[in-house]
Structure formats: structure tokens, C-alpha cells
Structure 1
Amino acid sequence: MTQESAPHFFDESDGQKLRIHTISTYLKQTFGKKMVKLSLDGGFTCPNRDGTKAFGGCAFCSASGSGDMASGSGDILADLDRQIQLLSDKWPDAGYIAYFQSHTNTYAPTGELRAKFMSALQHPAVCGIAIATRPDCLPPEVVDLLDELNQKTFLWVELGLQTIHPETSAAMNLCYTVSDYDDAVRRLQERGIRVVSHLILGLPGETEEMMFKSLHHVCDTKPFGLKLHMFNLVRGSQMETTHPDYVSFESIDDYIDLVIRMIEQIPPEIVLHRISGDAVRPTLIAPEWSYKKRTILNGIHKKLAEKNTWQGKAL
């Protein structure tokens, strides 16, 4: 085999030959053990739900603000305990990342944010924190708080860009722009804070060329991590009414083909946090197969091997 055709493996431990740079591999190499995210609903809302910018939220969001599997009893430590108890038999030696997932987790007074984030970090099994937010909800005092957290613990901040195209952004009621995203990334990276960027593939009206342009823009901002997932039509979203018959990808194979071509163009240093996007079955409308997360991931890994390709190969 020539050097040019020799595959690049990001993780060869445990008999694996991973051709992508996954968050599981990164965390295992960083912490020396299996790390698990615990999804939390911190009780926040969004500026396009409460009327500050709009009502109804993003058109694709469920009522839970994309946190259908997050715990949100109001007692963060109890929610963490409950999830750890459920997972401890499967991963008895794991460490945990407290993941504030639902809605916009920097959209509250700084004192409230501090109290909730610090509460999660008080749990003895929690080794770090991940905070999902919008790029337009990072005022200077919140960035200062994130900087403080970043100096105390392992932190990443997730920014839901979804698309760089203004016509799609307007149709999806996102109420922020690619300029908001670029500015947020710059200000976070200036503080040394890890950024994870979200893109949704298959948004209504978007061509493959448009999706690749969004991907290239995000990669050019050099985020720590990237999340790719197909558009899911879910119950409780605005689009259940406005686009009841919309299907983003006709088949698993169509989705896998697109993702593999994208993976080839993602720089190898970017950590892939997600390359699929499952919705809980009771809320999922379409694609009807998208809940089959393991099938999709196995198909991607199999196809990468068959094509003898890997993350960043096209670069």
C-alpha cells in the first residue's frame, strides 16, 4: 500500500480503527477514562420564544428546546445523581460532563447562570461542563463568567449556527445571523474557550452546495468541535404545521453519502461530537428512520472503510 492510500486512524485502541476524530476518543485521551455527558434542562428559555426577538422558537425546535432527553426537575444535583445511578452499572469507572442542553443556556442573569453552573460542578463525579447556547446570547458579562469557568474546569460552549444562509435563517425563525456567530466564536476563542459549532443538514430549501458552504465557513472559524445532524421533523414544532410532509433525506444511504463527503473536507483537528441526529421516537415524524442512531453510525464507519477514506482526506 502506498503512503498516499494508507488510511489515517484517529483511535486504534480496543480493536478500533476509527477514521474520524470523535469526542469519545478525545475525552478518553484527555481524561484517561470513559467520559459520559449528562443532559440537563436548566429551566432557561430563548429570546425568540419569550418575545424579546420573536415568539415560538426556531421553527424546527420541539417544545423542550431540543432537549427531549434532558433532566429538568429543578434540582441539578438530584438530576445528575439520578442519571449517574442509571449509568453506573454500564460504566462503573466513568467520569461525567454536565451538559446544559435545553433551550439557550446563557440567556439569564449572570447570577442565575453562575448558581446553576457551579451547582453542577459541585457534584464529585462531574469533571467538566458543556453549555449549549445561541451565538447572540453571549454579552460581555456572560463571556467573563465562561472565562472564569474555563479556568476552573474543563469547558466547551456549543453554538447553534445551523446554516450560514440568511434566507434559511429567516424561514427557520432563528433570529440571529452568521455575523453573530463569527463574533461569538472570536470572543470565546480570544479567552481560550473551546467552541463546538452545530450545523443542520437538509433544512428546507437548502441545496447540497449551500450545505457545503455552511460547512466550509464553520471549518474556517477553527472550532474545537463540530456537530452535524440531519433535519428532523418533530411533533410540537412549528414545522409540524407548516411543513407536515417534509422529509430531509429519503434514505439512510442518502444521508450517509453526504456525511462521508463532508467528513473528507473537515480538518482532522476538529473533534466530531455528532454525525447523526436522533429524535425520541414519540416526537419523531420524519425521516422515520432517523431514530436508528446505531445503524446510521455503523453505516458511516463501514462506508469510510469501504472507500478507504477518513476525516480530512480531501484536504
Structure 2
Amino acid sequence: MKKVNPFPFSDDNKRYHTWNYYLKHQYHEKVFKVALNANFSCPNRDGTCGVGGCSFCGSLGSGEYAGDIHEDLFAQFEERKAMMKRKWPDGSAIAYFQAYTNTYAKLDTLKKTFDPFVNREDVVALSIATRCDCLEDDKITYLQSLTKQKDIWIELGLQSIHDETAKRVNRGHDYQTFLDCIQRLKHTDLKICVHIINSLPYESKEMMLDTVRAIADLPIHAIKIHMLHIMEDTQMAKEYKEHPFPILTKEEYIDIVVSQLELLPPEIIIQRLTGDGVKDKLIAPDWTLKKVVVLNDIDKEMVRRNTWQGKHYTKSV
């Protein structure tokens, strides 16, 4: 007899609130992201709040799969949209400003970057990757104005709530700065997605769970959960080669992710449960290259535990 999926926000066997489920029910068509490189910088690279960037971040500013920086944005968009259209001919696009910090510029620059995509009929939403210390009030007001035309996602790289970890990976701001930004965003129609990373140096399982417990009660809409990738040409790679630190095994990662999902309210969208490291640059862990296997094993573990997203979520007072 087929087992009934106890999770309400699912059209299949997934026991968590998938990005695909959200897109299907929001837009009633196939929707895909088109990653772009808008040639922004980062305050953690140019000396404003630090140099070198986060120690896990490579020279492309987490935009390894974004467009070619030597092409203008529309050319990037058309080229990468055409690739996606070969797989989903009837799909629509989210313009995803992925590389570096995409609100780290003057307001006029942001308008010249984002306005043309908001006005495109083949774009259903914008997704803007940035930092919480690069969202001043005038920028939030501008981005809020765009929500009258399209859905606007703000993707914030938090990685961990623990300030000792933030210092260790050279994040360049503390947790309170992130919380202050969330408080200013919560009064808008902007949709918030928070990025976290499991297996940051010397974090315990309980610390990783604490990060999710804290996020669970924030006014956010989605989360991306990544496994740490140690990549060539990063500061973390140098540190790892000199003084190797423990890295989660696939089994440990799956255990933690399932436990994290249990702690999140069922309404929060899970945009990712694992990342895509560039194979030629990945030092460790190599098991992350088998992305489909990892996702399938997460599903199997949730069935084995008879659990689902939100099973152990309790709203704090």
C-alpha cells in the first residue's frame, strides 16, 4: 500500500516545501532562474569592511554559474535563457543577479541594472543576491517600488548566526547587523531568502541547528541550505591544506539537514538543500558532486524517520 505523504505543501513525495512547488503554484507554469553577473563588487573585498572576501568565496563571488562578465546583461540573459528554453520551451524566467553583492552601488546604478529586467514581459521576478550591510533605506524603498510590477526576491548570505564563526570565515558583519536588516525588510513586500552553510569550520551539529532555530522565527520566505565547498583559490582552501578541519560526511550532512527541516515552519520555501561546486576546483567534500544522490537520500531519510518539514517546529514566545 502506498504511503501517504503527511506534508501539506507537496505534489509528490517531497516532505519539505520545495522551490518547484512554490513556483508551480505561484505562476502556474514552469519557471527557471537565469543567473547573471552584473559586475558589482563587495564591501568585504574592497576594504570597506574587509579584504579578501568571505574565506569560502572564490574569485567569481559565488557566481561560478552566472553569465560572462564581458557581455552586457541582456546578452547574458538571452544566452542563458536560450539554454533553459531547450529544456523547458514554455518556461518563464527569473532574472537572478547572482555574483558578488548586487546592491553594493549607488542607487542610480541599481536602477539602470534592475529596471530593464522588471520591464521585460518574459521575466516573472527578480532575485538579487546581496549582503545585509548593503541595503540602506533608500535602496529598500526603491526595491519595494519594483514589487508593484514583479516579485522581488532578496537573497541574504547569513551562513551562520554565530559571530565567532563569522569572524573565522571573514564575513565582515555580525549577526545583529543581519537582524537589523530583516527588521527593515519585514515592513515591505520584498521576499526574503536566507543562505546558510553547514560544516563551517569547527561548528558542531548543535550550532548548525541553532542557526535554523533562530531563522525559523524570522519574517522570511525561503532558505537555501548549502554544504560547505572547499574550493581552490580561496582563503579557506589555504587554511584547510595547512590545518585540516573536520568536514561532514554525506551521512552526517543528511542527518543535520533533516533535523533542520524538522525545525523550520512548513510555510518557509526550501530553495536549495545542497550546492553546485565546480568539479575542477572542488577540493572537498567530493560526495557533494553527486547532487541527485544527496537529495534522494534526504528524501529516504525523511521517510525512514517518518518526519517532515516543521514536525518539531515550535514558535518561540
Please, what TM-score do these two structures have when normalized by structure 2? 0.93
Q: Deviations over 1:79-125 (max 9, x none)?
A: 11101111212101111100101110000011111111112234432
Residue of 116, 122, 131 corresponding to 1:134: 131
Partner amino acid, structure 2, of 1:256: I
What is the alpha-carbon distance in structure 1 between the residues aligned to residue 32 and residue 135 of structure 2? 26
What is the alpha-carbon distance in structure 2 between the residues aligned to residue 166 and residue 250 of structure 1? 21
State how 1:139-154 maps to structure 2 within 5 Å. 139-154=136-151
Q: Deviations over 1:229-269 (max 9, x none)?
A: 11110112111112226465442222111111111111101
Partner amino acid, structure 1, of 2:44: N
Q: For structure 2, list consecutive stretches of 5 or more residues without a partner in the other structure.
A: none
Q: Which residue of 2 aligns with 1:274?
A: 272
Q: Which residue of 2 aligns with 1:40?
A: 36
2:31–2:93 contact (8 Å) kept in structure 1: yes
CA-based RMSD: 1.6
Q: Which residue of 1 aligns with 2:48?
A: 52
1:233–1:246 contact (8 Å) kept in structure 2: no
Q: Deviations over 1:107-146 (max 9, x none)?
A: 0011111111112234432111000111111111111111
1:230–1:248 contact (8 Å) kept in structure 2: no
| Structure 1 residue ranges, 4+ long, deviating more than 3 angstroms after superposition | 245-250
What is the alpha-carbon distance in structure 2 between the residues aligned to residue 138 and residue 87 of structure 1? 31
Partner amino acid, structure 2, of 1:159: L
What is the alpha-carbon distance in structure 1 between the residues aligned to residue 250 and residue 31 of structure 2? 28
What is the alpha-carbon distance in structure 1 between the residues aligned to residue 279 and residue 229 of structure 2? 11
Partner amino acid, structure 2, of 1:68: E
What is the alpha-carbon distance in structure 2 between the residues aligned to residue 248 and residue 134 of structure 1? 27
Partner amino acid, structure 2, of 1:10: F
Residue of 28, 31, 37 corresponding to 2:27: 31
TM superposition shift of 1:9:
4.2
Q: Which residue of 1 aligns with 2:10?
A: 11
Q: State, as a whole percentage, how many aligned pairs show the same letter.
A: 37
What is the alpha-carbon distance in structure 2 between the residues aligned to residue 164 and residue 276 of structure 1? 19
What is the alpha-carbon distance in structure 2 between the residues aligned to residue 125 and residue 6 of structure 1? 35
What is the alpha-carbon distance in structure 2 between the residues aligned to residue 159 and residue 293 of structure 1? 23
SS in 2 for 1:152: coil
1:19–1:311 contact (8 Å) kept in structure 2: yes
TM superposition shift of 1:18:
1.8
Bigger shift: 197-206 or 114-123? 114-123
2:151–2:191 contact (8 Å) kept in structure 1: no
State yes or no: 1:121 paired with 2:118. Answer: yes
Q: Deviations over 1:19-64 (max 9, x none)?
A: 1101111011000011101111110011010111111001110101
TM superposition shift of 1:206:
0.8
